[in-house]
Structure 1
Amino acid sequence: MADHRSEGVVAAVSDIPALDRLLNADAMRASLDTYGRTQVVAALRRDLDALRQRALAGSLMRHELDAAAVAARTAAALAKTAEPRLRAVYNLTGTVLHTNLGRALLPDAAVASVLRALTSPANLEFDLDTGGRGDRDDLIDDVLCELTGAEAATVVNNNAAAVLLMLNALADRREVVVSRGELVEIGGAFRIPDIMKRAGAKLVEVGTTNRTHAADYESAIGPRTAMLMKVHCSNYAVTGFTKSVGVSEVAALAHARGLPATVDLGSGTLVDLTQFGLPKEDTVRETIAAGADLVTFSGDKLLGGPQAGLLVGRADLIRKIKKNPLKRALRVGKLTLAALEPVLNLYRAPEFLAERLTTLRLLTRPQRDIQPLAERLRGTVAHALGANYAVQAVPMFSQIGSGALPVDQLPSFGLAVRYTGSGRPGRHLDKLETMLRRLPTPVIGRIGDDALWLDLRCLEARDEAAFAAQLAEPLT
């Protein structure tokens, strides 16, 4: 117990207790049991160093040296250090597949599969039939071929890696013909031309930004050409006076000259999204059927699975790709495969997909189901923010996001928060956004048009109580 007679008394350096004495104090036992001696000693030394500096400056109080006070500071410091850097957040940005927030959420079947893989040995590269070494691609090859119509498949850690591997395996020191209008930049300033350069391929641009014709591809084919490649413009749209050449026509041109036609489909989907009321997006099966010899696409976008890059297509090309040394460098581990396989299996029962695949469930959530949630939470949020903020339940638009159908919007509902006090709204909204990010489970919204928008599309019913609970007390 602190000695109240020491409160307000300035302490000298000589008053600071020794480290061993503090380690043996009863108040330190809980931290030692939780964090171990090594971490506690390191934290204590940091605290004692800070205390000495304050004592020399004349700002250290005697009561701050009590063993209980030191133990409390040490426990708090250790608890903060032990907090995971990767934390759950509430995604109220309105972007369902948000790159910075981890893109697709895994369905329950994938979560259970990953848990098993985390806690048990698994036949990652072990053939249970023969007892010999297996190929980890065998875990997903059959289902990917079934769902896409491809002859073979393989998987790496993301779609950029899939493109890099494909180009290095099939076009190293050779030419790849691509429309200038398809030289996209993806997240993090990664550009198709840069990936080609790193893969050892020489880019041959054809056409113009807005118009490319079949003759442009044909005239670019030469003795050093390795492939004709199309890149799906999944993160932007060009409108107006435009012309592009479809996969089937590019494939016909390539095949006539004995070349493969490859497609970087980007986001990639395995089903016709229009049946769920979503905008049209080319499926992998349609792309293969149109004549593409290889298709690459992402696992964690419209597919709704873990981060992965999938390559499907001709068996001879896939075999060549798998023999490339980069394949091992870019391969996925057991956790990715444990998550990917059950996600792919969900597509075998498309009638249940909108219910069981989390990403599709969020994308197809009707506005009428989100509105009651917004109306229920309006009062809770208004109470937490105080009288200087007006909170309204209003219709708004979500977006699919992360390079998937960039110009299409989904009718949604949420909360619009506006500052009504004195001073500039922007500064106060920034401060409010910061406070929401510092909640135990951070709340991530978006600021625009002098309001903080909290789109509730991605806040499901099972999370409503926990979300409301951390707003039970006023924030401002």
Structure 2
Amino acid sequence: MNRLPSVDLLIRQPGLAALAGEHGHNLVVGAARAVLERHRSGGEAVPSLDMLAEQAAAEARGRTATALQRVYNLTGTVLHTNLGRAQLAEAAIDHAAMAMREACALEFDLATGGRGDRDTIVEGLICELTGAEAATVVNNNAAAVLLVLAALAGRREVVVSRGELVEIGGAFRVPDVMRAANVKLVEVGTTNRTHARDFEAAIGPKTAALMKVHASNYRIEGFTKAVAQSEVAAIAHAHGLPFIEDLGAGSLIDLVALGLPAEPVVRDCIAAGVDVVTFSGDKLLGGPQAGLIAGRKDLIAKIKKHPLKRALRVSKMTLGALEATLLAYRKPDLLTRDLPTYRLLTRPEGEIAALAERMAPLVGAALGTGWHVTVTPVGSQVGSGSLPEEVIASHAVCIAPAGKGSGKALAALADRLRALPVPVIGRVAGGSLLLDMRCLEDEAGFSAQLELLK
């Protein structure tokens, strides 16, 4: 073909005509025009009509493909921020789907027929599980901290230990949140040691609150000193001030009972005298992205009245998923069955090792003789800033190149794994690519697509 065809001729080709019925005439026309324009401006030889039709079909399919893709998380980090953090329970998925599919009583009081408050959907459950007097929810924990500070301490001072001024993912820093809330930060103590007397000395006429931040994503060891929650609470209350704590991950249960490393429990914070606690919904809680705020009734009422609350409120889908997740905690003996977060974190090491032994030969056969594929013990992590130095025994399929140039070979293999229909995400360590089997539950699906690596 020496000349480019017209758009009309191109879209009348059988493959494109069928796509128009599936995706609509306008989308296919746009795809055809885009392909023709690329060839018109490229100055290359004009392909055949069939080839142009194939290119237009690929363009049309690409325009309907979703950017948010399912992946296999074989990194060994269960709550991986870049891979979506907590996987939701089936009950949470179903309840969120109901909220999306049907009309629902989001802000409607079924008892009175009048307007309701969307927070009531989950407030009772949060209070039941934490011991708080009241609660509210916003779209993530950073938003929760921002709202609490703006509502309770706007244009005033908040006292925080210097050792707790942490930076979380994405270079998001606690001092930055405080500035955004129009709060003046008063740092006390030093990086490694803060005493009760430091909090006492910092309190003045402009002080609005005392605050602690759980340093979940780092640890200082050695010559250290931190002030206990009960001590900070006593100081705050003696001066008529609220005591705020940002827990970050915010577990609702004692993880030690599940054989996991200890992490602060929200109920214990409330019992120790913390007036307002903020924590995430998609970390150790095992639910959707959300920021939960629990505490004293009068303070929560003030927080809910702040203008930012409406700007930061969550959707009906989030509330549906969160309600179902919280309901799972009423059956504590079944949490490791019903919540994927705890099912994966407590997965028996022997089960993971057996899975790795089954997968290694399949991976080796798919990759061929240029690779050494073995099974090796590794350490999984909780992730999302929780327990950063704690590892949980796991096993991985270990892939090492047989020849030279291991760095380039591993990078190329990682590219191939990410290009699979369901991308496979592992981690490179010690000159090998590790596929940690802790989070692999779809054994059949993973195995089936290995054939595409040959």
Same fold (TM over 0.5): yes
Deviation at 1:70? 2.5
- Match status 1:445 vs 2:426: yes
Deviation at 1:27? 4.0
Retained in 2: the 8 A contact 1:143–1:345?
A: yes
Retained in 1: the 8 A contact 2:416–2:453?
A: no
Q: What is the 5 A alignment of 1:384-463?
A: 384-421=366-403, 423-460=404-441, 463=442
Deviation sequence 1:110-148 (CA, Å, 0-9, x none): 011111111101101000000011000000011111110
Q: Which moved more, 1:99-108 or 1:44-53?
A: 44-53
Deviation sequence 1:348-371 (CA, Å, 0-9, x none): 111111111110110011211101
- Match status 1:467 vs 2:446: yes
Retained in 2: the 8 A contact 1:17–1:65?
A: no
Q: What is the 5 A alignment of 1:289-308?
A: 289-308=271-290
Whole-Å separation in 2 of the counterparts to 1:27 and 1:405: 53
Whole-Å separation in 2 of the counterparts to 1:83 and 1:380: 30
Whole-Å separation in 2 of the counterparts to 1:22 and 1:351: 62
Deviation at 1:437? 0.5
User: Which amino acid letter does the alignment assign opposite residue 468 of structure 1?
Assistant: S
User: What is the aligned-residue RMSD (CA, Å)?
Assistant: 1.1
- Match status 1:279 vs 2:261: yes
Q: What is the 5 A alignment of 1:32-431?
A: 32-54=20-42, 56-57=43-44, 59-60=45-46, 64-66=47-49, 68-421=50-403, 423-431=404-412
Deviation at 1:473? 3.9
Retained in 2: the 8 A contact 1:383–1:474?
A: no
Deviation sequence 1:28-60 (CA, Å, 0-9, x none): 311211221211111111211233345x44x33
SS at match of 2:382: strand
SS at match of 1:408: coil
C-alpha distance 398-384 of structure 1, shift in aligned 2 (>3 A): same
SS at match of 2:304: helix
SS at match of 1:404: coil
Q: Which moved more, 1:350-359 or 1:215-224?
A: 350-359
Whole-Å separation in 2 of the counterparts to 1:417 and 1:25: 46
Retained in 1: the 8 A contact 2:159–2:211?
A: yes
Whole-Å separation in 1 of the counterparts to 2:423 and 2:94: 25
Whole-Å separation in 1 of the counterparts to 2:150 and 2:18: 56
Retained in 1: the 8 A contact 2:247–2:277?
A: yes
Whole-Å separation in 2 of the counterparts to 1:85 and 1:27: 24
Retained in 2: the 8 A contact 1:268–1:303?
A: yes
Taking only the aligned residue pairs, the percentage that are identical comes to 57
Q: How many residues align?
A: 454
Whole-Å separation in 2 of the counterparts to 1:381 and 1:100: 25
Deviation at 1:109? 0.8
Provide TM-score, normalisation by structure 2: 0.98
Provide TM-score, normalisation by structure 1: 0.94
SS at match of 1:30: helix
Deviation sequence 1:409-451 (CA, Å, 0-9, x none): 0000111110112x32011000100110010000000011101
**Structure with the greater alpha carbon radius of gyration:** 1
Whole-Å separation in 2 of the counterparts to 1:106 and 1:431: 32
- Match status 1:30 vs 2:13: no
Query: Where in structure 1 are there 5+ consecutive unaligned residues?
Result: 1-10
User: Which amino acid letter does the alignment assign opposite residue 440 of structure 1?
Assistant: P
SS at match of 1:111: helix
SS at match of 1:406: coil
Retained in 2: the 8 A contact 1:386–1:474?
A: no
Whole-Å separation in 1 of the counterparts to 2:453 and 2:424: 15
Whole-Å separation in 2 of the counterparts to 1:26 and 1:342: 48
User: Which amino acid letter does the alignment assign opposite residue 297 of structure 1?
Assistant: F
Whole-Å separation in 2 of the counterparts to 1:370 and 1:126: 47
